[in-house]
Structure 1
Amino acid sequence: MSSNVAQRMMPESSEREIFSYSGAVSAGIVGATGETLRARLAALNADSHRARKVFSSFVELAYNIIHHGEPEGARDVKIVRCGSVAVWQEEQRYHLRSRSLISADNAPPIAQRLQTLRDLAPEQIRFEFRLRLTNLQYSSDASPSGGAGLGLLTIARNAAEPIDFELVPVPSHDGRLQLTIHTVVQ
C-alpha cells in the first residue's frame, strides 16, 4: 500500500478531470455513469483502445464497490452501497480512483489480492486472466465475494503500472475501513 494514494484523491490543476461520481452505487447507476463516461471520452477524442480500457476499469472499480462495499448507514439496514469513482487525464495517461467502505472482515483478503496483483508482472496478469476466464483455475472462493476474481484482474490487465491501494480505519464508521484504489491506463 502506498500513502501516495491518499495524496492523489483529486486531480491537480495541470490535469483534466473527465468524470467524477460520489453517492449510491448500483448496477443501474454503473450503467448510466458508464454511458456518461463513454460520451465524455468520445467528446475528448480519446483513442478508442485506451477509452475501452478506461471504461472497463471504471466499470470494475464501480462493481467492486457494489460487491465488497459496506453501507454508509447502519449495518443492519440493507441499503445500496455508497462510494466514489473519479477519472482524470494527465497528458496521455488516464487515472482512475475509487473509494468505498469495506468491513474489517473483508479487508485482509481484498488487501492480499490487491498486493498479489501489484507483485505480478504484466505477462503473469494476462496469463492468470486467461486461466480465470476459461475457468481452469476457478474456485468458488477465488475472491472474497466468491466470484472468479476477474474484476481486479481486468483492472490490473488494463493498468500501465501496478495498482495502488490504501486501507484506512474510519473511526466514525463502526470499525469499517475505507478502501481507495488508484490505477493508471495509458
Structure 2
Amino acid sequence: MQQLDLYALREQFNQRQILLCFNGPISRSLIEEIGNALRNYLSAEDAPPSAAMDVFAVYIEMTQNIRHYSRDKGWSEQESSATVIVSRDDQGRYVVSAGNLVDTADGEQMLASVHSLAGLDKVQLKAAYKEQLRRPRDAEKVSGAGLGLIDIARKSSEPLQASLQTLTEGRSFLSLRAVI
C-alpha cells in the first residue's frame, strides 16, 4: 500500500477550507461525537448562532438519514460507510456534504426529490414543509426524502445539489450538498 502524504492532504484540506471530514462506518455515537466537535468548532470560529444551528441541524439530518437507510437495508459495516465533509466556500458560507452507498433506484428517487425542491423558493419550501407535516405517516413505509430533506432545503441559502455515481450490482453512490 502506498504511503499517504498527510502534509499534502492537510494542504488540500486547507486550500478547500475543509473544517471537518469523516469517511467510514457511521454509528449513532459517532454522529454525536462528530456533532459535538462540529458545534465546538463553530463556536470557536464565532459563527453566527443561526448559521451554527443550521449547519449542525443539516449535519445531523444528513448523517442520521444515512445511518437509518443503511440499517433499514441490513447492510454490513463496509456497505454502511459514509463520507461527510463540512467546509467553507469562497463567500464564507458553510457547505455540508454527505455521501453514501444506495440502491440505484433509491438514489434516482432522491435525485428527483432534490431536483423538485431546487425549483422552489423559500415561500414554496415552507408550504411544502407544512403540507408534508399534515400528511399521515404510514408506519410500515420507509419515508425517505420527506420532511428532513425539505428542512435541509429550507435552511440552505441556495438550491440543494445531488449527484449519483453508478457503481455495480444495482448500487450507486449518492452525494448531497447543502450551502448554509
User: What band does the TM-score fall into relative to the shorter chain?
Assistant: 0.7 to 0.9
Instruction: Spell out the pairing of 1:117-132 with structure 2 (5 A cutoff).
Output: 117-132=117-132
Stretches (4+) displaced over 2 A: 67-71, 75-80, 137-141, 144-148
In structure 2, the gaps of 5 or more residues are: 1-11
Q: TM-score, normalised by structure 1?
A: 0.78
Q: CA deviation at 1:159?
A: 0.4
2:166 pairs, out of 160, 165, 169, with 169
Q: Aligned pairs, how many?
A: 166
Matched residue of 2:143: which SS?
coil
Is 1:63–2:55 an aligned residue pair? no
Q: Is the 8 A contact 2:96 2:179 kept in 1?
A: yes
Return the alpha-carbon distance in structure 2 between the equivalents of residues 12 and 138 of structure 1.
46
The one-letter code of the counterpart of 2:178 is T
Return the alpha-carbon distance in structure 2 between the equivalents of residues 104 and 131 of structure 1.
28
Q: CA deviation at 1:89?
A: 1.3
Return the alpha-carbon distance in structure 2 between the equivalents of residues 102 and 147 of structure 1.
12
1:181 pairs, out of 170, 176, 180, with 176
Q: Is the 8 A contact 1:164 1:183 kept in 2?
A: yes
User: Is 105-114 or 116-125 further displaced after alignment?
Assistant: 105-114
Q: Is the 8 A contact 1:18 1:41 kept in 2?
A: no
Return the alpha-carbon distance in structure 2 between the equivalents of residues 150 and 16 of structure 1.
30
User: Is 93-102 or 25-34 further displaced after alignment?
Assistant: 25-34
Return the alpha-carbon distance in structure 2 between the equivalents of residues 104 and 68 of structure 1.
13
Q: CA deviation at 1:76?
A: 7.2
Q: Which residue of 1 aligns with 2:3?
A: none
Matched residue of 2:105: which SS?
coil
Q: Which residue of 2 aligns with 1:3?
A: none
Instruction: Spell out the pairing of 1:63-142 with structure 2 (5 A cutoff).
Output: 63-69=64-70, 78-79=76-77, 81-90=80-89, 91-132=91-132, 135-140=133-138
Return the alpha-carbon distance in structure 2 between the equivalents of residues 107 and 27 of structure 1.
23
Matched residue of 1:46: which SS?
coil
Q: CA deviation at 1:150?
A: 1.8
Question: Quick one: percent identity of the two aligned structures?
Answer: 23
In our comparison, the structure showing a higher alpha carbon Rg is 2
In structure 1, the gaps of 5 or more residues are: 1-9
Return the alpha-carbon distance in structure 2 between the equivalents of residues 23 and 57 of structure 1.
19
> 1:159/1:148 Cα in 2 relative to 1: closer, same or farther (>3 Å)?
closer
2:143 pairs, out of 143, 146, 165, with 146
The one-letter code of the counterpart of 2:62 is L
- Computed over aligned residues only, the root mean square deviation of the Cα atoms, in angstroms, reads 2.6
